[in-house]
Chains A and B, each alone.
Chain A
Amino acid sequence: MSTIHSRPDEFIATEHKPGVWERSRRARTAILYLLPSIILFSVFVFYPMFRTIYLSFFLTDQAGDAAVFVGLDNYKYLLDSPAFLNSAKATLLFVLYTVPAGILLSLFLALLANEKLRGIGFFRTIYSSTMGVSVAASSVVWLFMFHPSIGMFNRFLALFDFPQIQWLLDPQWALVSVAISTIWMNTGFSFLILLGGLQNIDEHLYESARIDGAGYFYRLRRITLPMLSPTLFFIITISLINAFQTFGQIDILTKGGPAQSTNLIVYSIYREAFVNYQFGTASAQAVFLFLCILVATILQFRFGERRVHYQ
């Protein structure tokens, strides 16, 4: 009996036990591969993010360093501040103006450009070309088109004897004007993504449906849209986030005016931090925006993804 008992002990004793260094070999290799992106993300994403959250609990001095801890006072101040509430409202309106209209327009163009016609490549290039124009450059072009006296739009209205519109100077029109130019700027990207999605749909599905006698709109409703749903879901998410973060066109076209009507949150953060040097409240706004986008995206995933048919 004793020999039988002693055997397992011998085995354990002779078995080679790898050290921590050896056992973590795979993990270390993995980290090594991830290192470049970890460094980049840390410097440009994680550190600023945590710094922002930290600063949102402080009053800051001119250099932007934390001076007095105030807890949630910055947030309380924001929620009482009519200027911030106005910003939030303007941002929400801006999202509502740009996202649905922009996606419908891109979808329409993508459906047109997906037809097999001679020279369709030309239209595909044109429709996606706004992707290649920077926000700054296109904003300047739109600035001229919106110009009250020499702008294209007012000239056009004058042709038909309509009253002139102060596109960027009238508080009622300014947000709409910026929204129009933003839709134009975003169309190229959305168009390209949606066209790619459309081209991925198996041509045989349409042929089979044609043999069954399905008309264009029936095919659109029962084949194209369901098959495109993953792409639509992606582009809606991206557009929503982009719309919440709009900055460049505001800075060039209106600078948040007139009468704060286009003072979207990101622009308001910029003003608060780098014009008024109020880094504390600016950080609180940034955190607030972050939470808004987070909630919007989570809601979208919860309710939107149910209707998405992944292959």
Chain B
Amino acid sequence: MKKVELIGISKSYDRQKDVISNIDVRIEPGEFFVLVGPSGCGKSTMLRMIAGLEEITGGTLKIGEQTANRLPPSRRDLSMVFQNYALYPHLSVEDNITFGLDVKKVPKAERKKRAQDTAEMLGLTDYMKRKPRELSGGQRQRVALARAIVSEAPICLMDEPLSNLDAKLRGHMRSEIRRIQRQLGITMIYVTHDQVEAMTMGDRIMILHEGKIQQIGSPIEIYNHPANPFVATFIGSPPMNLAQAEADPGTSSVILPGGEPIRLPEGAFEGIGKGPVTVGIRPEFLMPAQGTSEHPVFRAEVTNVEVLGHETVFSFLAGTEEWTAKWNGQWQIQPGDRIPIALDEESICLFDAKSGTLMKKPAARQLSVPAEGAAT
């Protein structure tokens, strides 16, 4: 298992504007590292630079202990799964899986055995003689996966491998890929635009936007403490609610554009002066106002309601912004209703209005169940 280290990596086409600038990250051996960002943020380009399919125009790439900037793709000790799978349409599943081994002149008996083992791991043994066009989308995806696994490369790169699958299969393959990665202990670099994939699969996530790192951290860390409003709205569904507001440390409150002040707990304004800020709060911290007196309550007009069975998501007007709230259970709310909504003031984040940096973290919300029999 090998580490991958990017030191000041940047990329530009024709020496014009950088599409990727100054990426510094160290991906640990055996780590599941997810690169996530909206389309066009440069995440695929970055993956292709690590693979050696795209030239690195600045900085140093280290794979293991070796500088890899100029190494050809085949000598970087990695495998790659492409978004469209890149299966060879004229070869059978078995030949597709063993293609790389054939290139490396692995003896025929070993080739066959490794292909068999991999096929078994992915449930492909019945399809070995078929051509890719005779397979379903999910099966093709597995063949692409098998091709990466069979090479036994210590590093595996995946470029949006699940984006061509339907929702149900995607959920299944998510856990499957994670399981295989744990089982083999390979270092995984996984590109996706889907924040759910990023949250559920990654040991650590890097969020990219316009070629720049927005934040690197564990999924929960990023969810709880987003570094800036972009991350806050990109991770989490529905996204974090944001509004421009006025901070008033004197009264320890922020004033929303509607003129409504929200009192924040003591010490929330440490290091924050009077002036404009961006207020952020996650939809689940806008709660039903029934029977709770400890949180500030405000009334707002509901604009849209989605009842999802186990939860109800609705949007309402908070001053000039449209916010969303997420309540557990099935709530009978109609668009146009004015309803009371409680706001968990401890979970509010404040961002600098200009630079966007996080100034006040929300309170920690992690829960734990003491393990049975554990002496705690």
Listed in ascending order, the chain A residues whose CB lies under 8 Å from chain B are: 202, 204-205, 207-214, 218, 222-223, 226-227, 229, 309, 311
Contacts and interface: CB of A to CB of B under 8 A. Distances in A.
B30 to A, nearest CB: 21
Contacts of B72: 210, 213
A303 B201 CA distance: 51
Interface residues of B, number: 23
A208 B80 contact: yes
A204 B84 contact: yes
A212 B89 contact: no
8 contacts: A204-B82, A207-B53, A207-B80, A208-B80, A211-B73, A213-B75, A213-B103, A214-B74
Given A218-B103, A227-B90, A309-B90, A210 B73 contact: yes
Contacts of B103: 209, 212-214, 218
B89 A210 contact: no
B90 A226 contact: yes
Interface string B83-94: 010101110000
A211 B50 CA distance: 11
A210 B74 CA distance: 6
B278 to A, nearest CB: 41
B104 A211 contact: no
Contacts of B137: none
A210 B86 CA distance: 12
B51 A212 contact: no
Q: What are the 10 tightest A-B residue pairs by CB atom distance, in nearest-first order? A: A213-B74, A212-B100, A204-B86, A309-B90, A226-B90, A208-B86, A211-B73, A214-B103, A212-B103, A204-B82
A180 B133 CA distance: 42
Contact of A213 (B80, B89, B100): B100
B99 interface: yes
Contacts of A229: 90
Contact of B89 (A207, A209, A211, A227): A227
Nearest to B100: A212
Nearest to A214: B103
B69 interface: no
A227 B51 CA distance: 24
Nearest to B85: A204
Nearest to A206: B86
Given A209-B99, A212-B100, A311 B89 contact: yes
A90 to B, nearest CB: 39
Contacts of A208: 80, 82, 86, 147
Contact of A211 (B78, B90, B133): B78
Nearest to A208: B86
B253 interface: no
A213 B104 contact: yes
Contacts of B52: 210-211
Contacts of A223: 88
Contacts of B133: 311
B364 to A, nearest CB: 43
Given A204-B82, A210-B53, A213-B75, 10 more contacts: A202-B84, A202-B86, A205-B86, A211-B100, A213-B72, A214-B74, A214-B99, A223-B88, A226-B88, A226-B90
A121 to B, nearest CB: 17
Contacts of B10: none
B54 to A, nearest CB: 10
B187 interface: no
B228 interface: no
B151 interface: yes
Contacts of B21: none
B196 to A, nearest CB: 25
Contact of A212 (B53, B84, B104): B104
Contacts of B89: 227, 309, 311
Nearest to A204: B86
Given A227-B89, A227-B90, A311-B89, A211 B80 contact: yes
Contacts of A311: 89, 133
B79 interface: yes
Contacts of A213: 72-75, 100, 103-104
Nearest to A205: B86
A204 B82 CA distance: 7
Contacts of A222: 88, 99
Contacts of A227: 89-90
Nearest to A215: B103
B146 to A, nearest CB: 13
A258 B283 CA distance: 92
Given A205-B88, A207-B53, A227-B90, A212 B82 contact: no
A117 B84 CA distance: 25
B70 to A, nearest CB: 15
Given A205-B88, A309-B89, A311-B133, A211 B51 contact: yes
User: For B52, B88, B151, which residue has the most chain A Cβ atoms within 10 angstroms?
Assistant: B88
Contacts of B99: 209, 212, 214, 222
Contacts of A204: 82, 84, 86
Contacts of A212: 74, 99-100, 103-104, 151
